Structure 1
Amino acid sequence: MQKLHLKPLAQQVIVITGGSSGIGAATARAAARAGARVVIAARDAGELEKVAGSIRESGGAVTTCAMDVGHEEDHQKLLQTALDTYGRVDTWVNNAGVTIFGSLSTVPVADQRQLFETDYWGVVYGSLTATAYLRERGGALINVGSEVSDRAIPLQGAYSAAKHAVKGFTDALRMELMQDGAPISVTLIKPASIDTDYTRRARNYMEVEPTLPPPIYAADLVADAILQAAQSPHRDLYVGSVSKLISTMGQRAPGLSDKMAGWLTRNQRSDVPASEDIDGLYDPGVRQRTPSPKNVRRHSLYKHVNTNAKGLLWLGTGMLFVMGAALTRRR
């Protein structure tokens, strides 16, 4: 059995899907600044080159691979691109994702299936490709889940289901790799609401443009968590203390969490009428009228549950009492 050893970022080659914007682009830029050689992948070759150009201008090493994570064969293409360019892979980040806003009764099943092609099967294909390569060499597999990996929310039911599936797959894969003695660290990242093009790339079945429930955090915070997991083994990393709170509430007080449905529904609906813009469900696309979030948090109280479990438990317990009291007064 080979011992797990994760290299410093400056010695790593890092593959990142969904690298043309948002979390993926932020992670690629941060990794390159730290000296890593980066391979970024996405469907839109033009947007990939824009990100790559900004990295090169800053002196970073980067290459691109236009591919669709929903196509199994494209992951071998991505791996080969990394091997041809840099000779190896040390960390693989499955980050690409898309969402749909609308009640489950109004979202066509065909669209829900397409979401799973990207958000679930894209992670499965990437994970199996990466771990087959890393079994003999060692390294890190990092899957980007969500706070809704633990607690579903209304209006994004298919996305919640896919992120639940990603969590189940990641947990099972981790155990199997441990049983095999494979020198691979497997981490699930669970961000809260993040300031990206997430809502602008979403398919929308509401009569208004979508938005995200507050608080909203900067993508750089997720990048920091991903790069932390690339250097030291972690099981789960929460980004934004509210992510851990929502997870704790979902597990410890599911009935109370259900009562937040009204607040969650209201805070995913903007006051901007819905447009007929293209979206990113089937092909690359960005909605133009979706409002940008305000008051984005550049810092977070988030702490990993394994490093500060007691503090997070007390925080979660306190918030549960506060919310329970507020709901009681409201009734």
Structure 2
Amino acid sequence: MKPIAVVAGGSAGIGRATVEALLARGYRVAVLARGQDRLDQMRAELGADLWTRSADVSDAAQVEAAADAIVADWGAPEVWINNAMLTSFSSFAEVDDAEFRKITDTTYLGTVNGCRAALRVMETGRIVNVGSGLAYTSVPMQAAYCGAKHAIEGFTQALRIEIARGRRDITLGMVQLPAVNTPQFDWARNRLDAKPQPAPPIFQPEVAAEAILRAVETGAREVLVGRSVLKLVFANMLFPDVVESQLEKMGVEAQESPQPDFGRDDNLDGPLADYPSKAHGSFDDRAADRGIIVDGDRARKALVFGAAAALLGIGAMLGRASKAGPAEPELHDPDRTDLPWGLDTPDYSRAIADRR
């Protein structure tokens, strides 16, 4: 019997790419999403191994009812992936309470609702929460979305510990994604001066789907995708003031494409019925179809042990230099642009030099 996977937020973008990847690996896949038209399209395209249900993940009762229906029709799932999200490209001052709550309820509480339902109906397997590099480093003009991704990170860690204490045969992991070419940038609410874009470098949804499947197959605590996410994680950890200074200068502009964006509808209050189910957005010509996928824990250990080795090496060199008698070496060149954390602009290097 084929294993069963659930993808919440699976009718477009990363969710759609993940559904296709799961089907290719022999799963039966249940998809939850708001838009019935896109779900119907998927059923027609992808066949009998697909189960669909229209559900708003911000409504816990709808998610619980969907979980019960999956079990009744197919049995208990072995995999549950929480991917649904909403955002608004707007300054905080422009986002009222209702809009902020809608984004938070879908992106954060939708994940919470999915985990609760999954833990109730699953006997064994993997739960994967789809996160973002923005769970570590926030950007301007998406305060609600960044806050929700930070909340998912904290919630996931707390729940993972509880699952371990309960000795459940279930793993809970998170996949931190880079900027991805999805329909999000075609249908999200936008108050920028131009059409929003994924802040480069941009990756195709299949890269994200492969990372999610890596988390499913390995049970990793956290998976980091793309060098840009590694930079966001580690640069913000080491030099948060420098990161924020750079984002103050270019964080808004990096999210603006050269394309105008006038008078279109958005998906905040409901799905756009006339937008098809597809994984890719409007930036195929700029999106990479390959990216590094690393275990987050291993990446952190490599950073720590690599830094320790570097310090030991520097200490050894300084020891030899002190015996020979030369002047103390200059360790920071203010004109370097190849900094190890990847913030490859002279402004970062000079800012670090100024801190000495």
TM-score by length of 2: 0.82
2:53 counterpart SS class: strand
Q: What's the offset of the Cα at 1:283?
A: 0.2
Q: What's the offset of the Cα at 1:294?
A: 3.2
Query: Sequence identity, in percent?
Result: 26
2:184 counterpart SS class: coil
1:79 aligns to 2:67 (yes or no): yes
Q: Which shifted more, 150-159 or 318-327?
A: 318-327
The 1:327–1:269 alpha-carbon spacing in structure 2 relative to 1, beyond 3 Å, is farther
Q: Structure 2: how far apart are the matches of 1:293 and 1:104?
A: 30
Match of 1:255 among 235, 241, 244: 241
2:64 counterpart SS class: helix
Segments of structure 1 that go 5 or more residues without pairing to the other structure are 1-9
Q: What's the offset of the Cα at 1:237?
A: 0.7
Q: Structure 2: how far apart are the matches of 1:301 and 1:287?
A: 34
User: For residues 1-331 of structure 1, what are the structure 2 equivalents within 5 Å?
Assistant: 11-56=2-47, 61-134=49-122, 137-261=123-247, 262-285=249-272, 292=283, 294-309=285-300, 318-320=340-342, 322-323=344-345, 326-328=348-350
Aligned counterpart, 1:7: none
Q: What's the offset of the Cα at 1:320?
A: 4.9
The 1:45–1:287 alpha-carbon spacing in structure 2 relative to 1, beyond 3 Å, is closer
Segments of structure 2 that go 5 or more residues without pairing to the other structure are 276-280, 308-337
Q: Structure 2: how far apart are the matches of 1:141 and 1:310?
A: 24
TM-score by length of 1: 0.88
Deviations 1:297-327 (A, max 9, x none): 1111232233454556669961357446655
Q: What is the Cα-based RMSD across aligned positions, in Å?
A: 2.5
Kindly provide the amino acid, as one letter, of the partner of residue 66 in structure 1.
Answer: S
1:267 counterpart SS class: helix
Kindly provide the amino acid, as one letter, of the partner of residue 106 in structure 1.
Answer: E
Deviations 1:44-103 (A, max 9, x none): 1110122232222xxx61110111101111111221221122112111111011111011
Paired residues, number:
316
Tell whether the 8 Å contact from 2:4 to 2:79 is kept in structure 1 after alignment: yes
1:155 counterpart SS class: coil
Q: Structure 2: how far apart are the matches of 1:287 and 1:23?
A: 19
1:210 counterpart SS class: coil
Structure with bigger gyration radius: 2
Kindly provide the amino acid, as one letter, of the partner of residue 279 in structure 1.
Answer: D
The 1:44–1:299 alpha-carbon spacing in structure 2 relative to 1, beyond 3 Å, is same
Q: Structure 2: how far apart are the matches of 1:138 and 1:317?
A: 44
Aligned counterpart, 2:327: none
Tell whether the 8 Å contact from 2:76 to 2:121 is kept in structure 1 after alignment: no
